[in-house]
Structure 1
Amino acid sequence: MTDLQNRDAAASVDDTAPIDARYRDVSLPIAERVEILLAQMTLEEKAGLFFQTVIGIGPDGTLAEEAGVAGGGSTDGFVNGLKMNHFNIHQAPTDPGTFAEWHNRLQELAAQTRLGIPVTISSDPRNSYSDNPLAALFAGTFSVWPEPMGLAAIGDEATVERFADIARQEYTAVGIRVALHPQIDLATEPRWSRALQTFGEDVELASRLGAAYIRGFQGETLGHDSVATMTKHFPGGGPQQDGEDPHFAHGREQVYPGGEFELHLKPFEAAFEAGTSQIMPYYGMPVGTEFEEVGFGFNKSVVTGLLRERYGFDGIVCTDWGLITDDAIMGEPFPARAWGVEHLSPRERVKKVIDAGCDQFGGEACPELLIELVRDGEITEDRVDASARRLLREKFVLGLFDHRFVDVERAKRVVGSAEFVAAGEAAQRAAITLLVNRERSDASGAAAPTLPLARGLKLYVEGVAPEVAGEYGEVVASPAEADVAILRLAAPFEERPTFFENFFHSGSLDFPAERLAHVREVAAAVPTVVDVFLDRPAILSPIVDELAALTGNWGASDRALLDVLTGAAAPKGRLPFDLPRSMAAVEASRPDVPFDTADPLFPHGFGLSYEA
């Protein structure tokens, strides 16, 4: 096709012609419905499918006037102006009924467009304690579970599938139909800030649990009751140079000094077998491999050569967020993550992503660039149609054309139901991992393990709400007055220059000297139990010998912890990664190789129990 013919084809659809409504006929095969609809779409309507951006919610569930995550662009401007119908929701109303009402208003707006293409809403994880605006979100009224790393500590496929099925029910109740997860990268670099949302560094465990997660959200096959999973980050985002994250320019390189590129593909092979509907390539760029040294979303040798051709994946491939245009986050500049192609213009970046084999641009709202490329003959409309078919097909498979609205009253009943909340709390307790439980003298002078603690003791607490601790014992003001101290710590990280970057915990795994000194001071005064939120594998060697007991968690309420410490529930968790002995061991390890830190303090799979 010549450039002139291509431009003529791009403008050939008459958007004033009568609508062939057979694509709404549920008796027809989905493939036929897709073709009927696609044949009637203008280039502008097709281009709108390719862009998925963050959308805001107005007061009381109204449609936001300033709908973009950084302001700019109204809801109406996205839907009617840019012809977009894929949106990512970040912050949402705590009331599920209001959330559902907003969703229905948005679907009503979309229904009034020329072809009435329904909106698809996506979300990052919403059922855990994390609150990283570009990684995971506070649960609000959704049931609260441990992070995926905590599910890995439990290590049970049935628990993961049960979690995902509950999350599926909560998502669909408010209209969320795409999960921007699971994250099945192997956490082989201990310093990496994104490890918490993975299943750890063991390939077999990550593969099993990732597949169970997909089954829970999607079912055995994708259908009207499913939430489609966008499994990430292909081809594995764990081997980050120095553990830095490629959300930022200084973390753009993925390296494979141990030659383990293929190992990081294994969890994705399990995800393909489980039927994941979508794949997200990561920001990072491979260095020193056979592949082009550009970010994976721009990387034809990875997206087409590896994902499409070697693995035969014909689902949707959506880039990670913000590869094309610069933005501002929290008032601070946030450049496009165009690693290896920083020199290209936004228009040229769009072309390279399309040429790579991707179907959709995450976090972007610039369909005019794609339209220009087609009209100028640089991208064929046949290539546009190939991705449009995938994107439309999923909307039909999910039943959005047939049942676009949700039941507001059902949303109120389902989200955060007592049954779902109880299941999440049980998982929080089960994931807690007991690492140290030294014997000490009890009231009679006999030696016994520190844990479980008797109820009614005098407790000195830090990092635990006193009113909660008061349900288990008498809270006192100083270690000197206490029978036992309970300290909750978070794994350390280095402060970084921008506010947003500090949501990504990076850098040294050593605790500051003053924090270690304080723990030692308390432990010298009273038997001390330390619980650490192990979003990163903290270096605990300097204090471990001075503690009466030590536990790790990956998202647990104070009550969940105290239930375990007092024996109302048993610690069942096992470490989903090695806990390194020193930063020297971490720095000497190879970032692509699991279990590569010398002589770990506690190895993968370690965990004590209360049974003799």
Structure 2
Amino acid sequence: MSNDAALETAIDTRYRDASLPVDERVEILLGQMTLEEKAGLFFHTMIAMGEGGELSEGDPVFGIASNREYIAVRHMSHFNLLGIAPKASDIAAWHNKVQEVAASTRLGIPVTISTDPRHSFSENPGAAFFAGPFSQWPEPLGLAATADPELVERFGDIARQEYTAVGIRVALHPQVDLATESRWARQLQTFGEDADLSGELGAAYVRGFQGSSFGAGSVSTMTKHFPGGGPQKDGEDPHFDYGREQVYPGDNFEYHLKPFEAVFAAGGRQIMPYYGMPVGTEYEEVGFGFNKGVLTGLLRERYGFDGIVCTDWGLITDQPIMGTEFAARAWGVEHLTPAERMVKVLDAGADQFGGEHEPSMLVDLVESGAVSEERLDVSARRLLREKFLLGLFENPFVDVEAADSIVGSDGFRAAGLDAQRASVAVLSNALRRAQGPVLPFARGAKLYVEGIAPEAAAAYGEVVETPGEADVAILRIQAPYEVRDSMFENFFHAGSLDFPVDVVTHVQEVAAAVPTVVDVFLDRPAILAPIVEAADAVVANWGASAEALLDVLSGAVPAQGKLPFDVPRSMAAVEASRPDVPFDTADPLFRFGHGLAL
């Protein structure tokens, strides 16, 4: 329908009739949309929230326009919420104001709010947000360390209730990439190295978020990163040009599809392809968001997937990230103009441009004949159908007063704390001294702690100032990574897995004075051998509070966590391994599934 004709015709409001079949409602609405209104559906970008739940005028640091500009002028209606709010009711209030703006537009198409992960106790700002008012759980690697699908589904169900209470209806997760390259920066948000476990937990995650039937109480899951983003050359990440190549020296491409197959079987609704470009495969050597063989041939045709496909962020235009301009991640098609890249993404089979906010470019492409309006209609149907199925046309608003009592409730926080405890993995507990293993330590012992607030440790023993005064020392450290040039790069922990000499020396010095426990935040499988040799006990966590950790170390709760990947013995073994093949480092120090009981 032409723009003028659409605007001159009285609006047929039957698309608001919930008694009609969803597909019929979609066609009634789609037939009345202008080209500009259709184009707005294709852009899924970051949106800012104003202070205290007010509408935002935008964020120039992140290149974000005002809420009204995006919705009322650019006709956009899919947004990834940026930042944190101290109160759930503030998010809910802002969400309702955004929906009021959407309701005031010509057709009143409601907004769909999405988010990256928000529930982790610890976080990587490049891939997740602080929990804020939400309950706090281990990172996905920590959920994998529990190896408990029921626990993961329970997490998804609780997260679903918290998200829907504030108006978030799309989860830009789970991430079911496989951590087959030990150096890769993004494995903390995965379920580890094993395809079967990752598939089982990924399916449970989807069931928890989407519910027993997809509808008004659901959160739609956007599983990423198809067809598996783990086999990165040298473990570098394709957020950056030096990490764009995804390689398969073990000819193991199919292995990385297995978790996605489990997610499809569980009814996963949406998919995000990764930035990486496959090298040395049957597929075109372009980023997966541009890759027709992968998105149409593999995803749409082989797997019959008819859900929404949204590209990863920033494939089309250069975007500011934390105040710094980063080139579009158009790997393999850098020579194409932004408009040409847009055409290639659509031809590949994607429905949305992640992180982009220029609908006028798409309008120009249709008006020039480079893209047909019929092609827009194919994706627009999927995008509108999802809004109808989520019940957004019937009731786009949330109960602001109820949000604070639902989000971060005592019961939800207790469940998150239990999961943190269950995820802690004891890797070694040596018989170094005459009194036997150091763990569990005796309640009331004299404790020397680093990386733990003294007031938290005081609930378990007497906190002392020096190792020489203590019965037990407990040191919390971070797995190593190489410092890179920019702040944004350093959110992605990459490079060598060897601990710096000063860290190892410090552990040795403390352990020479007192029985010592080292707890490592194991966001990558670090070379633990020198730490294990120096310390009396080594423990791994993937997001656990001091309380959760000390409950395990003191024996108040049993140690249950198991490694979700192999821990290599040396960097030489890592460098010699094939990045697409699981469990491929020679003679690992600890095997997948290792974890001692206390």
TM range (shorter): over 0.9
Aligned to 1:36: 28
Q: Which shows bigger deviation, 430-439 or 180-189?
A: 430-439
Q: Give the Å deviation of 1:254.
A: 0.1
Alignment partners' CA distance in 1, 2:49 and 2:99? 13
Matched, 1:16 2:11: no
2:235 to 243, 252, 270: 243
Deviation at 1:333, TM superposition (A): 1.9
Spell out the pairing of 1:206-605 with structure 2 (5 A cutoff): 206-439=198-431, 447-605=435-593
Instruction: Name the residue aligned to 2:121.
Output: 129
1:398-437 Cα distance to aligned partner (Å, 9 max, x none):
0000010000122111000000000000000010001111
Q: Which runs of 5+ in 1 are unaligned?
A: 1-8
1:152 pairs with 2:140: no
Deviation at 1:69, TM superposition (A): 6.4
TM superposition score normalised by structure 2? 0.99
1:533 maps to a residue whose letter is F
Gaps of 5+ in 2: none
Shift of 1:142: 0.4
Contact 1:324 1:364 in 2 (8 A): yes
**% identical equivalent positions:** 68
Partner SS state of residue 15, structure 1: helix
Q: Secondary structure at the match of 1:531?
A: strand
**Amino acid of the structure 2 residue aligned with 1:455:** R
Q: Is the 8 A contact 1:494 1:506 kept in 2?
A: yes
Q: Does structure 2 retain, via aligned residues, the 8 Å contact 1:580–1:602?
A: yes
CA distance in 2, matches of 1:13, 1:518: 74
Alignment correspondent of 1:194: 186
Give the SS at the match of 1:178: strand
How far apart are the structure 2 equivalents of 1:387 and 1:425? 41
Matched AA of 2:379:
S
Give the alignment's TM-score, normalised by structure 1: 0.96
Question: What is the alpha-carbon distance in structure 1 between the residues aligned to residue 147 and residue 411 of structure 2?
Answer: 22
How far does the alpha carbon of each residue in 1:275-300 deviate from its partner, in whole angstroms, 9 at most, with x for none?
Answer: 11100000000000000000000001
- Aligned with 2:427: secondary structure? strand
Deviation at 1:439, TM superposition (A): 3.0
The residue aligned with 2:134 is: 142
- Offset of 1:11 from its aligned partner? 4.2
> Match for residue 62 of structure 1?
54
Tell whether the 8 Å contact from 2:46 to 2:64 is kept in structure 1 after alignment: no
Instruction: Name the aligned partner's letter for residue 191 of structure 1.
Output: R
Residue 535 of structure 2: SS of its match in structure 1?
coil
Cα distance in structure 1, aligned partners of 2:125 and 2:477: 22
- Judge conservation of contact 1:10–1:375 (CA < 8 Å) in 2: no
Q: Following TM superposition, by how much is the alpha carbon of 1:456 offset from its aligned partner in structure 2, in angstroms?
A: 1.3
Cα contact 2:99–2:397 (8 A) shared by 1: yes
Shift of 1:86: 0.5
Instruction: Classify the secondary structure of the residue corresponding to 1:14.
Output: helix
Q: Which moved further from structure 2: 541-550 or 105-114?
A: 541-550
Whole-angstrom CA distance in 1 between matches of 2:4 and 2:330: 34
1:68-95 CA-partner distances (Å, limit 9, x unpaired): 6614421111011100010000213110
Instruction: Quote the offset at 1:313 in angstroms.
Output: 0.3
1:26 corresponds, among 18, 25, 45, to 18
C-alpha deviation, 1:358, in angstroms = 0.3
Instruction: Return the alpha-carbon distance in structure 2 between the equivalents of residues 524 and 10 of structure 1.
Output: 79
Letter in 2 for 1:133: P
Does the C-alpha gap of structure 1 residues 296 and 424 become closer, same or farther in structure 2, counting only changes over 3 Å? Answer: same
Query: What is the CA RMSD across the aligned residues, in angstroms?
Result: 1.1
